[in-house]
Structure 1
């Protein structure tokens, strides 16, 4: 079921702290990540809805160490601005189409936004087999700053495995690629427990004052997480999350996309809070 018919507004966001983790060739880093999104939704009925959303993200990196990648101090605070228009259109009780066009700007403080544009979107379809299962394929395509577009498959699923246990497609966080998969257990009418995972890729334009003037930075990893969510009502939820990012890689490129340095980093623990309000 989607949002209630008629107009509604929403505001969601969160804060995550990624704890200090070692970079393979020396040094370490930690990060603070903030995300906010607000918008409006119009739903003519429970099967169809169109939303307009504006979002802002801030990823603050703190690199320390006198050797390797950390010694380069390649970037600090990354701003993300994004406009999206999620559309959910159910043609009947069985078939639903999802489309989410997106336009965004991803840049370090002081970088030119016109050189930091990424655009693309996601499209998919799901088929409802009954009250227990809806599933279907999806695909996302995003242009990249000085690189080939990223194409990623998505499974659109909502599978009620048991009365209180559901496997579903989860929303991505902030400017990173998503979504992922979430296994959710409804412990009570107000309390949910969940575990999940997704692919994270943040690529952004740098300012003109560092080792790579107007260059490109990238942070890529595979976060796995667990969470507990409390619903004050159907319109207000708060979640506490914790987990670890595996297979992480930091990359620094020049303004044309040529690699200057790249290095893997160790498993990085993280924790934070998210909220979701609808009015």
Structure 2
């Protein structure tokens, strides 16, 4: 819009496939097999001065198994940030998110940071804060203009709607876990990047609620390796 106001729009899609073993504590059968998550964000940023940046990011997410009721799969909320620009090397601030997530209201604070320690090392937030939680922290090394490598971690928790064919009809599933990762990013030009990420999920918990929002089962899961390939573009 102008130098003081910036508007944007973000779209996201996540797909997960699950396999279960030894799950007698959650209905004795696989509570779900696949999860789809579709997100929309509408960020608004304002710079009232050269040293301050304020942000508000309304977010909407549909999360559920195949066939889940779309209207009952909606989570929504907002992430607010206040950032202080200390100079070209350091931007530091605080943020908070509040979300209505399938019959549950949750919130979290987080540290927002972008610190260029030197020409090659940077400490930053690797993820976007949203319904699944805060943005985490990552230490990044950039040997040249095309390559970056990083290592970091975060905590994620998300809820999603089950459908009438799942073990708990029209219920709600919830997954929570901490994870650490390493990644390599290659810039391809024209605003396009490719990320390869490997890591592990640990301290994981699964919970299932029925359609009356009563817990019907819960269990933990073992440390699990993960690999991801991400293609990103910017207009």
Question: How far apart in 2 are the matches of 1:168 and 1:254?
Answer: 39
Unaligned runs of 5+ in 2: none
SS of structure 2 residue aligned to 1:134: strand
Distance 1:217 1:275, change over 3 A: same
**Contact 1:146/1:256 (CA < 8 Å) preserved in 2?**
no
Distance 1:114 1:66, change over 3 A: closer
Matched, 1:160 2:116: yes
Of residues 223, 228, 232, the one that matches 1:272 is 228
Distance 1:275 1:174, change over 3 A: farther
Cα deviation, 1:202-235, whole Å, max 9, x if unaligned, reads 2111112333211110111011111111112261
Which of the two has greater strand per residue?
1
CA RMSD of aligned residues (A): 2.1
Distance 1:156 1:117, change over 3 A: same
SS of structure 1 residue aligned to 2:164: coil
**Contact 2:32/2:167 (CA < 8 Å) preserved in 1?**
no
TM-score normalized by structure 2? 0.91
For residues 45-124 of structure 1, the aligned pairs below 5 Å read 45=3, 48-65=5-22, 67-69=24-26, 71-124=28-81
| Alignment match, 2:174 | 218
Matched, 1:201 2:150: no
**Contact 2:26/2:216 (CA < 8 Å) preserved in 1?**
no
For residues 180-191 of structure 1, the aligned pairs below 5 Å read 180-191=136-147
TM-score normalized by structure 1? 0.78
Deviation at 1:58, TM superposition (A): 2.1
Total equivalences in the alignment: 235
**Contact 2:7/2:44 (CA < 8 Å) preserved in 1?**
yes
Matched, 1:138 2:113: no
Distance 1:231 1:127, change over 3 A: same
Deviation at 1:66, TM superposition (A): 7.2
